[in-house]
Structure 1
Amino acid sequence: MRNTIILTIVLFVAVIGASIYYFSDLNGEKKEVLRPLTFLPKETFLITTFHNDATTDNIFKDFEIFEALVGKAELGQWKVWKDKLLRNTVLQPYVNDADVYVSFHPEKEKIVSLFTVPTAETIAPESLAALIKETAKTFKISEKDSLGARIYHFDKGVKDSIFHVVYHKNIFFASYSDSLIYKVIDNKQPKLNKREIDYFVENNSRNSPLSVYFVHEQIDGLSNKLLRKKPGSFLELFGNLGGQSAWNLNFKNDALILSGESETNKDLTNYLETFSHQNKTTQRLFNYFPENTASYLSFAISHPTRFNTDLQTMFQKRGEWEKLSASFNELARSKGISLDEDIRPIFGNEFALLEQSNQTMIGFIALSDSSELSKNIRKIASETGDSIFRFDQSNIPYALFGDPLKSFIRPYFVRIGNTIALANSQSLLQNLRQDWRRENLLINTIGFKNFEKIQGNEANITYFQRTRTSAAILNNILKPAFNTNYKNEDDFGYQDFYSWSAQISGNNGDFLSSIYAIYKSKNALGATPDWTYAFENRPITAPWVFEHSDTSQFILIQEQDHTIHGIHPTGKKLWSAVFHGRVVGEAQQLADRSIVLVTDRNQLYRFDTNGDGLPGFSLQLSAEPTYTPTVAELDGQKLILIPAGKKLLVHALDGKKVGNWDELTLGGKILFDVKVRNNFVYIGTDNGNFYRVDAKGNVVAEETISGSLFRSPIAVVEAENKSGAIVALDTTATLVTVNFNQNPIKQQIGTWGDRALISFDGERSQAVNRLIAIDEKKLFVTQLRDGNPIFEYTFTQSVNDRPQIFKNTTYGDLIGISSRENTLLYLFDEKGNVVDGFPIEAVPQFYFGKIDYNSGTYLLCVRRDKKLYAFKN
């Protein structure tokens, strides 16, 4: 399947058109669109037009997509001509009210551009020469008369960079190709026809900064120009389609988006016409595609009856229906099974064709009724082993859905989820099923997640091409000259495009169409770090940011050999020291800027911002810590309260043990950290024992929740008489409120599994508003006071790390999620939206916020190369 390259080529040319923004700064309303287009040669691959206001340069000067597609050298030339010619004050009165057209045309082994600029008023012949001379003082100018016009040649002394300009019929035409200029002014050369021009004029939006126009019959010429092999099945959908498309640009910094309308000749011998009376609908089959997908074509039917009627009409017009119907009539006679009554109801309204990176093809068909498949499968197919079947009758997929599945004459198939996958080889299906079981899927890649956020999944037809996995295919199919540019990372940026795609939807006999090119911008979050910090071993804690002095902050992180690093906000090493054991829970900073933490080797540390231990530290603890210490004031004394299984270890800030806390007997293991409020300590245990303890370590209130298990942190909320009540969630998703003065209150708050990961968004503050739960692939955020859901989110793989909470950022209170399986980081705002720029590829866990007093917001994260990355948001 050679569809992989086809859309890339069309988009490639379209986006080159967009880059001409740099060539102009014209300002004015449309006065006459039709006339300039009548001079364009019939072989015009693409036309773009634009109009600018005073802010255009500021909008597009950092639009990296332009430079990536045009090339740095070419764009540099265009900027020179913009500044020296069109921006020249001498020409401004004539061109200020004009639209500018840029069109693209075939020439030998390249595609050349033509700039068309009509003037607001006629420039007299005697004035033109003086104007040209004044406009281009820095160039060597020569001229030539041909076909009744005078052509000016601007030469700046660089090879192959002579710019040819002619003023013909009150229009400037300019190009680096002199032969193209001759075609424009030669009346005997075939030109665009009136219908094509009229469609462009009708669909040229003045509210869009750029419009793009494409004549469908140019597809063959375009593919012949760029490809050294026959085009594939995607392009065949447009064979003899006729008509044209007009798109308008939607500006986005990291994506090119063109959307508009397409009309055709409405000839039902062409497969695409079977969708012209459909309406866009949700597509879901991409959830089944393997990670090594290079490209896919996915189809969704909104009106099955109309589709089946149009498909049959197509077969009849092609002269295929008689043979197809005869074969299925024979199937009905021999096996008593009907295509329409028995086979068609098995399948749903979605199907797809994908190409993998090794150029193998797999088809997918959604199931409508799995019971119908089970009931009839042995009437239409035979098992070949390993739960893989093969159709007994030829052309079933083709008869049901048409051209995209035509290559699967008698395919093997296997059920995967709510679909069947088709292939002409059993081994492909075995590999696919293994990918499915291992969740080695396209949707689990970071690039596809970013693609989904921009494009969406509402359409009748979606084409998608992924740059990285298509690399070998592109290399084989592009002609050498174009392949050289495609691979040239110094001058171009094609490798920085994640994907190219198109969506088409029926529209009352015509089509709505959109084109997307997703770009990995160097300015996007996670692309270009401000700095990196390399470790010898894998970091094992999140990065923490603490105060270092009155003027600066610093970053703290531990790596696998237990070395803790102090890092300056600029990424420079401040100090490092090997600690005895792995940090348990989190490090925290006291008012005097000293840092307190515990390790799994029974050590309590307190050290200053230079990494030096305070007197008396580190010290050996009597038991192994199980979570973060709580530093709080009890009876006027600052204490460090350390959870250690069934014990609570209490030390003063000088490290000395305090009171008789060792005698405190607990009925279970402490759940994470303990809470202190109003001179009382609140403790929860895994087997349902909850305590209120006074400042001396005496239990003053106790409650036991029999028959319940707890695996999550507790929170303390304000109860009656300003006393504290413990809130905890048991393993049945029952929220238990213990206020010690009355019977515990139980509320079923979810249906999560017993291994769900729970956080409260105010664990270290007095206000606890939300409960955050991760249950395998699902994120649930719930209002604590009433149990009402705030938002939910479904991940593509199970999440095994507890949610992180980032308080009081510029985005409000944020929830951080780390997906260890596919090394993705997510950040959600208070409404459940994924923060712009996320997900980001990195390992758990991370930091998001300021890294210095006056710094911007940064993402600190670690990647598989064992480096800490600082990305400025």
Structure 2
Amino acid sequence: MRNTIITSILLFVAVIGASIYYFANLEGDKKETVRPLTYLPKETFLIATFHNDATTDNIFKDFEIFEALIGRQEMEQWQLLKTKMLRNTVLQPYVEGVEIYASLHPEQDGISTLFTIPTLEHVEPEALAAIVDQTGKSYSVSQKDTLGARLFNFDNGVKDSIFHVLYHKNIFFVTYSDSLLYKILDEGVPKLDKSNIDYFVDNNSRNSPLSVYFVHDQVNAIAKHVLRRKPGKTLNLFENLGGKSAWNLNFKNDALILSGESETAGNKENYLEIFSHQNKTTQGLYQFFPENTASYLSFAVSDRNRFQQDLAQLFVLRKEHEQLNRQFNELQKDKGVSFDKQIVPLFGDEFAVVEQSNQTELAFLALRDTSGWKQLASNLVSEIEGSLYRFDYANIPYALFGDPLKLFSRPYFFRIGQTLVLANNQSVLQGYRRDWEQVNLLINTIGFKNFERIQGNEANVTYFLRTRTASNLISNLLKREYSIGFRDKADFGYQDFYSWSVQISGNSGKFLSSLYGIYKSKNALGASPEWTYEFENRPITAPWVFEHSDTSQFILIQEQDHTVHGIHPTGKKMWSAVLHGRIVGDAQQLADRSIVLVTDRNQLYRFDTEGNSISGFPVRMDGEPSHAPTIAEADGQQLIFVPLGRSISVYTLAGKRANGWEQKNVRGKILFDVKVRNNTIYVGTSEAHFYQFNATGELIKEEQLENSQFANPIALGSNSAKETVVHALDSAGYLVTIDFLQEPTKRKMDTWPTDAMVVFEPLGQEDARTAYIIDAKRLIQQGLQDSGTTYEFTFTQEITDRPQLFRNGGTGRLLGISSRGNNLIYLFDEKGGIYDGFPIEALPNFYFGKIDYNSATYLLCVRRDRKLYAFKN
């Protein structure tokens, strides 16, 4: 597990340096970049430099990540320094428009920060005295001379928070550590190498609010400084790598993203050098990783031939090739199998190593030719039990892919499609197989969904650390002072980072690299509710929002004991009432604001916004409703059409049976709701019978389709003569159109699978224009007149709940999807993009929109704790 810890600490240190940007917001262009860096000690861990304009300061003023990394107390000190000193009118003319640097340096008792601020012109002694006098009015100021320079100490009475200031060679150096200033002054202390400084200057981006510079030789020094023990094998990949990296900040309020270029020393004995001549490519093995993943290293190659050549050269340089050749010569002699010609071509371009939370490891190898593997495997492996095998010959994974697989000498494995899953222990492999069969996978977790959305999967090398599953191990391996800070939730926010990760891609002998810290922002949708409403039992319907009066709206929802709650938009209870049965379908509101709904105990309800029944209600119906009622005008009056499985009951708004509408029986189960347009009523059934009734209940026409079955709602449309037609999707994937005048037409939709679940949009009595199709894990959107798909999306779990539709401003719609298998809810915009902030952990059935006339947009959802959550978007 040490490899997990080392890499996380490197990220940990890097992001501390990155966060220092918050300290400054002066204005100006880059001035004399090289000169200030030449005074920094060689042992500098990391350097950050930032643009000094008000625009970027405004971007970062609410960036929670900085405070989480630096600590609230430290941030207060830096804010004080900025406002009391740098913003002082006496000092500002000398530093306005300069570029500020912040660097991290090892100290005996920790890591110190140094701020390096060059001045536009030399500050004469008299002016310096005036600056010290003005900026020090809120401090107790003392000074002393040393090494030919004068040091000023600004003490505000807070322990360990004395600012030590040095003005030297037209540069202000500011730090909490006076010993660090002595290193600046001492010409005998080795300073940063000029070649490193030149590289940083060349890669400074004027389009980024922050740049971070890192010398790779500091990896071991950082590890030694912050860890109790020696580093593990992951860090060995970076050992003796040499070179440096320059990263620029990409702003996002729920992630710290640093991306840029890396240059190495070109040491051919270092494994990572193999990837410098690769190009970034898609990585997909993460879809197999178990839910309890603590960290993983995933690799993908774009040029397999070049990879094998470079790997072979690495074995030669390490003097390992002779041993490997002897071994594989024996294999060819014994089994007639050539490693290079027969084994290597069977394997694909991806491999990965996963550490689980219990410190066990798994490896994943992609196969290129599964049929060839089946034929050749009998010469290479032995079956242990039930599709569980073990390699007969050692070092095959290592010879195929190199260092990450070295510990998997003769592993056990089993195959999932085109992927081999390896472990050094049978029980570990059997445990993973159970996870796979039960779909306990990393990709099904809410945190990883957000990680995927931000980071993407294009790289040659990806390292990923999941904070929660590795938290205790990280804490135990850190030295005491760092462990305390890592766990301190009051002052820091390290526990609020979901993950840390690094991505590396080859770039013509060099590298492109990125670092990511995915943060659980308190301002993110689904993090901090505006209010919650607690139930005695589990809620069983979606929350609905209805009008309450001319000035306010209210929320309606039912819980498992059949109690219906009226909830104010502020989350306060207004009223509750117990219904006879569970609400079927949606509740609906009439023009007079009364609510109409049906329950599975054959009840038709109509009540006012205070929960009081309207005269004549509830009504006991002749059967159990199969869907929500349709409320529409027919024969000059508002009627309530209730589907009762294989029959229809129709009522007036007074709760009486409508004239002429004795119970109408149909062949088959009614497909969801009844459609009404222009005094004509349309019904479709599961047994392919479609009906057209007039306003008084007389049957106009019945159409029957032979050899067809239906299981989805029907929709209305219009033909070229502007006559109403019925659309329905049959179980074979055909879109059937019935106009009740001519023979029904059937059109095979290329992308529509059989037995799919479909929702037509818009809902109700309007012409349907779009269909949303759910095929197990796949979402498809397609226009009814289009031959091609508008967009597709694949989920990690099978979707069993019908999609929901929410208004998006005017006529637009947002699509809501609930993934019951992993308790995630999704919201898609009209172009198929996932709405910002989603997916979110919640139970199926939710609401997204306004909850009062003038309110912001809210997400209303229920979680496992039986509470209704209101999250402001």
Q: How does 1:715-864 map to 2 (within 5 A)?
A: 715-719=715-719, 721-750=721-750, 752=752, 754-809=754-809, 812-864=812-864
Amino acid at match of 1:307: F
Aligned counterparts of 1:335 and 1:121: Cα–Cα separation in 2: 79
Instruction: Give the equivalent residue in structure 2 for 1:678.
Output: 678
Instruction: Give the equivalent residue in structure 1 for 2:326.
Output: 326
Instruction: Give the equivalent residue in structure 2 for 1:93.
Output: 93
> Are residue 434 (structure 1) and residue 446 (structure 2) matched?
no
Q: How does 1:362-761 map to 2 (within 5 A)?
A: 362-719=362-719, 721-750=721-750, 752=752, 754-761=754-761
Aligned counterparts of 2:732 and 2:691: Cα–Cα separation in 1: 21
CA contact (8 A) 1:664 1:698 kept: no
Q: How does 1:345-356 map to 2 (within 5 A)?
A: 345-356=345-356
Amino acid at match of 1:300: A
Aligned counterparts of 1:585 and 1:134: Cα–Cα separation in 2: 71
Aligned counterparts of 2:139 and 2:471: Cα–Cα separation in 1: 41
Report how far residue 421 of structure 1 moved. Answer: 1.1
Instruction: Give the equivalent residue in structure 1 for 2:16.
Output: 16
Counterpart of 2:89 in 1: which secondary structure? coil
Counterpart of 2:801 in 1: which secondary structure? coil
**CA offsets per residue over residues 472-512 of structure 1, 9 Å max, x none?**
22122111111111111111111111110010001111101
**CA offsets per residue over residues 310-356 of structure 1, 9 Å max, x none?**
11111111111111111111221122111111211121110001100
Normalised by the length of structure 1, the TM-score is 0.99
> Are residue 228 (structure 1) and residue 228 (structure 2) matched?
yes
Amino acid at match of 1:610: E
Aligned counterparts of 1:605 and 1:819: Cα–Cα separation in 2: 31
Report how far residue 109 of structure 1 moved. Answer: 3.0
Counterpart of 1:329 in 2: which secondary structure? helix
CA contact (8 A) 2:607 2:614 kept: yes
**CA offsets per residue over residues 174-209 of structure 1, 9 Å max, x none?**
110111111111101111111111111111111111
**CA offsets per residue over residues 764-791 of structure 1, 9 Å max, x none?**
1413110111110001111012343111
Aligned counterparts of 1:767 and 1:13: Cα–Cα separation in 2: 58
Instruction: Give the equivalent residue in structure 2 for 1:252.
Output: 252
Amino acid at match of 1:446: I
Amino acid at match of 1:676: V
CA contact (8 A) 1:416 1:433 kept: no
Aligned-residue sequence identity (percent) comes to 63
Aligned counterparts of 1:595 and 1:665: Cα–Cα separation in 2: 27
Unpaired stretches in structure 1, ≥5 consecutive residues: none
- Which is further off, 329-338 or 775-784? 329-338
CA contact (8 A) 2:715 2:767 kept: no
Amino acid at match of 1:718: S
CA contact (8 A) 1:759 1:803 kept: yes
CA contact (8 A) 2:732 2:755 kept: no
**CA offsets per residue over residues 443-474 of structure 1, 9 Å max, x none?**
11111111111111110000111111111221
Report how far residue 660 of structure 1 moved. Answer: 3.3
Counterpart of 2:561 in 1: which secondary structure? coil
Report how far residue 740 of structure 1 moved. Answer: 0.6
Aligned counterparts of 1:365 and 1:476: Cα–Cα separation in 2: 32
Counterpart of 1:57 in 2: which secondary structure? helix
Instruction: Give the equivalent residue in structure 2 for 1:2.
Output: 2
Report how far residue 582 of structure 1 moved. Answer: 0.3
Aligned counterparts of 1:289 and 1:809: Cα–Cα separation in 2: 40
Aligned counterparts of 1:810 and 1:368: Cα–Cα separation in 2: 50
Aligned counterparts of 2:140 and 2:219: Cα–Cα separation in 1: 39
Counterpart of 1:145 in 2: which secondary structure? strand
Aligned counterparts of 2:21 and 2:475: Cα–Cα separation in 1: 30
Amino acid at match of 1:635: D
Counterpart of 2:764 in 1: which secondary structure? coil
CA contact (8 A) 1:4 1:295 kept: yes
Instruction: Give the equivalent residue in structure 2 for 1:870.
Output: 870
CA contact (8 A) 2:675 2:765 kept: no
Counterpart of 2:378 in 1: which secondary structure? helix
- Which is further off, 481-490 or 755-764? 755-764
Aligned counterparts of 1:765 and 1:110: Cα–Cα separation in 2: 69
Counterpart of 2:852 in 1: which secondary structure? coil
Amino acid at match of 1:655: G
Instruction: Give the equivalent residue in structure 1 for 2:26.
Output: 26
Aligned counterparts of 1:351 and 1:309: Cα–Cα separation in 2: 17
Counterpart of 1:165 in 2: which secondary structure? strand
CA contact (8 A) 1:777 1:794 kept: yes
Aligned counterparts of 2:148 and 2:765: Cα–Cα separation in 1: 83
Report how far residue 105 of structure 1 moved. Answer: 0.6
Normalised by the length of structure 2, the TM-score is 0.99
Amino acid at match of 1:532: T
Q: How does 1:263-342 map to 2 (within 5 A)?
A: 263-342=263-342
- Which is further off, 755-764 or 854-863? 755-764
Counterpart of 1:276 in 2: which secondary structure? helix
Aligned counterparts of 1:90 and 1:687: Cα–Cα separation in 2: 86
Report how far residue 11 of structure 1 moved. Answer: 2.0
Amino acid at match of 2:818: S
Aligned counterparts of 1:382 and 1:476: Cα–Cα separation in 2: 40
Counterpart of 1:623 in 2: which secondary structure? coil
Aligned counterparts of 1:59 and 1:520: Cα–Cα separation in 2: 18
CA contact (8 A) 1:293 1:469 kept: yes
- Which is further off, 327-336 or 89-98? 327-336
Aligned counterparts of 1:808 and 1:741: Cα–Cα separation in 2: 37
Check 1:861–1:663 CA distance in 2 against 1; reply closer, same or farther (3 A cut).
closer
Aligned counterparts of 1:414 and 1:332: Cα–Cα separation in 2: 24
Aligned counterparts of 2:586 and 2:126: Cα–Cα separation in 1: 81
Report how far residue 251 of structure 1 moved. Answer: 0.6
Aligned counterparts of 1:56 and 1:667: Cα–Cα separation in 2: 67
Report how far residue 810 of structure 1 moved. Answer: 7.0
Aligned counterparts of 2:628 and 2:743: Cα–Cα separation in 1: 30
Report how far residue 751 of structure 1 moved. Answer: 5.6
CA contact (8 A) 1:114 1:174 kept: yes
CA contact (8 A) 1:245 1:261 kept: yes
Check 1:196–1:730 CA distance in 2 against 1; reply closer, same or farther (3 A cut).
same
How many residues matched?
873
CA contact (8 A) 1:734 1:750 kept: no
Report how far residue 750 of structure 1 moved. Answer: 4.5
Counterpart of 1:228 in 2: which secondary structure? coil
Aligned counterparts of 1:703 and 1:865: Cα–Cα separation in 2: 49
Counterpart of 2:781 in 1: which secondary structure? strand
Amino acid at match of 1:204: N
Report how far residue 830 of structure 1 moved. Answer: 0.9
Aligned counterparts of 2:30 and 2:716: Cα–Cα separation in 1: 66
Instruction: Give the equivalent residue in structure 1 for 2:80.
Output: 80
CA contact (8 A) 1:345 1:372 kept: no
Aligned counterparts of 2:751 and 2:81: Cα–Cα separation in 1: 66
CA contact (8 A) 2:648 2:663 kept: no
Report how far residue 18 of structure 1 moved. Answer: 2.6
Report how far residue 753 of structure 1 moved. Answer: 5.2
Aligned counterparts of 1:767 and 1:322: Cα–Cα separation in 2: 74
**CA offsets per residue over residues 28-74 of structure 1, 9 Å max, x none?**
11121111111101110000001221223321111000000000001
Unpaired stretches in structure 2, ≥5 consecutive residues: none
Aligned counterparts of 1:619 and 1:147: Cα–Cα separation in 2: 96
Counterpart of 2:21 in 1: which secondary structure? helix
CA contact (8 A) 1:737 1:746 kept: yes
Counterpart of 1:3 in 2: which secondary structure? helix
Amino acid at match of 1:492: F
Instruction: Give the equivalent residue in structure 2 for 1:185.
Output: 185
